[in-house]
Each structure stands twice: as structure tokens, then as C-alpha cells.
């Protein structure tokens, strides 16, 4: 055990009440849900829904994917996790989402990268001015070829 950092303490506070809040939304507090929360507490950065199902089932094999996804939906409503989309629209989850960011994904190598809001500021402003459309940057995923894959493709050509 390392010493608790202030950020970690704040994150713990946000989760402290989650049992009561799940109940308030009509969800029972089950061992499976408790295990999912334990798994989420150990996640840093991005994790796919499938990974969460797998890690949860490793601890409690009775957990079903629908329990995991339904609980994630509710936790998202509480602001404790957020989702974005990876390759082929697969859901990926962020625990304790801090800042808005989008994602770049490359099917060639399976890589994904965070996209800072200022990298898409022009696109966002253009769509707002031109169409009155508000882009949800934290839900924005752009698929394409990364620099390495683009170079490899050129070398083959």
C-alpha cells in the first residue's frame, strides 16, 4: 500500500455513496455489482466493456454481461464512468472521467490515442457556426490510419 494521494481520496468520496444511489435507481446491491465496483476501482485509463466482464467473471463467475452493462449505464448516469467508442463502435469506459477528450483509433494496429479538445477546436467551431451543431468531444471517435500504419502502407505500395 502506497500513501493515499488527495486525488485518490476525492475519488473514494465520489464512490462512497454509490450503494445508496444504486438503490435509489431501483437496482439491488448484489455481490456481482460489488465485485464490478472493486474491478473499476483498479482501472486506470480506458477499459473495454468486454474486459470489465472478463475481470469481473474471474472474481465471480456468476456475473452476467447484462449485469455488468446495466450497472455501467447507471454508473454513467451518476457521472462515475463515461463511455466512448473504439474500433467497430465497441464501447470503452473511463473511470472517474476528468477532462473531455475524443479518440483516434487505427484498425491497422488496433491502437488508440486521446484527442485533446484543442486539436478539434476548428472542426467544433465550424460545425457550431455552420450548422448550429454542438459536438460532444468526449464522445468523438475518428477512425483512420496512424502514421506508422500509413508509412507501412506506403512501403508496400
Is the Cβ of residue 34 or residue 108 nearer to Zn ion in the bound state? 108
Is the Cβ of residue 1 or residue 147 nearer to Zn ion in the bound state? 147
Q: Are 109 and 145 in contact (CB under 8 A)?
A: no
Task: Give me the 75-114 binding string for Zn ion, x by CB under 5 A, dash otherwise.
Answer: -------------------------------x-xx-x---
Interatomic CA distance for residues 50 and 39, integer angstroms: 13
Q: Does 149 bind Zn ion (CB under 5 A)?
A: yes
Interatomic CA distance for residues 152 and 157, integer angstroms: 9
Interatomic CA distance for residues 91 and 86, integer angstroms: 6
Is the Cβ of residue 53 or residue 146 nearer to Zn ion in the bound state? 146
Q: Are 119 and 104 in contact (CB under 8 A)?
A: no
Residues in the site for Zn ion, rule: CB under 5 A?
Answer: 106, 108-109, 111, 146, 149
Amino acid at each position: 500500500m502506497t500513501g493515499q494521494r488527495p486525488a485518490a481520496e476525492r475519488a473514494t468520496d465520489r464512490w462512497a455513496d454509490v450503494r445508496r444511489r444504486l438503490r435509489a435507481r431501483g437496482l439491488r446491491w448484489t455481490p456481482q455489482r460489488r465485485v464490478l465496483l472493486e474491478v473499476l476501482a483498479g482501472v486506470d485509463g480506458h477499459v473495454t466493456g468486454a474486459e470489465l466482464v472478463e475481470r469481473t467473471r474471474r472474481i465471480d463467475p456468476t456475473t452476467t454481461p447484462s449485469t455488468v452493462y446495466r450497472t455501467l449505464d447507471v454508473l454513467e448516469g451518476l457521472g462515475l464512468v463515461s463511455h466512448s467508442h473504439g474500433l467497430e463502435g465497441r464501447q470503452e469506459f473511463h473511470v472517474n472521467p476528468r477532462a473531455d477528450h475524443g479518440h483516434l483509433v487505427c484498425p491497422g494496429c488496433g491502437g488508440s490515442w486521446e484527442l485533446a479538445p484543442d486539436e478539434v477546436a476548428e472542426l467544433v467551431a465550424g460545425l457550431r457556426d455552420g450548422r448550429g451543431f454542438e459536438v460532444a468531444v468526449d464522445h468523438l471517435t475518428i477512425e483512420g490510419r496512424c502514421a506508422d500504419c500509413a508509412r507501412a502502407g506506403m512501403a508496400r505500395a
